[in-house]
């Protein structure tokens, strides 16, 4: 049986104890967005062609395809929710002007997906 003291000198600690240390005081965490805020934001996003509403779980990919209205560019293949970044690819930072609908497959200007909030 290992007691934790064999092979150590003085105050030295075996290296595997470093894995057990509580690092919570040194960790940096990014707060998750409030789910009510996310759902509220997504409730005002609709396909301009068929009125389909994407959810926060839907995904698009940074892949330029022949026949899309998006001008050709060297795409990176990242997969993400385009409405969480307002059309900016997190992989290569390409700003998508056009977004395809996952329901009707039509292309619309990305900004046209956002409903204007009542003033």
Using the predicted structure, report yes or no on whether residue 7 has a pLDDT greater than 60.
no
The closest of 94, 62, 65 to 79, measured between CA atoms, is 62
> How far apart are the C-alpha atoms of 98 and 73, rounded to whole Å?
13
pTM over 0.85: no
Q: What is the mean pLDDT of residues 23-27?
A: 48
pLDDT tens digits for 27-75?
444 444 554 566 777 889 999 999 999 999 999 999 999 999 999 999 9
CB 105 within 8 A of CB 98: no
pLDDT tens digits for 103-117?
999 999 999 999 886
What does the pLDDT read at residue 98? Answer: 97
């Amino acid at each position: 049986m290992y007691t934790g003291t064999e092979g150590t000198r003085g105050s030295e600690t075996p290296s595997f104890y470093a894995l057990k240390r509580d690092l919570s005081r040194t960790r940096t965490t990014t707060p998750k967005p409030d789910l009510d805020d996310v759902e509220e934001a997504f409730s005002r996003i609709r396909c301009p062609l068929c009125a389909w509403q994407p959810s926060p779980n839907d995904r698009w990919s940074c892949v330029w395809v022949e026949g899309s209205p998006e001008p050709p560019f060297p795409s990176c293949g990242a997969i993400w929710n385009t409405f969480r970044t307002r059309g900016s690819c997190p992989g290569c930072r390409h700003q998508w002007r056009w977004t395809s609908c996952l329901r009707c497959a039509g292309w619309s200007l990305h900004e046209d997906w956002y409903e204007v909030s009542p003033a």
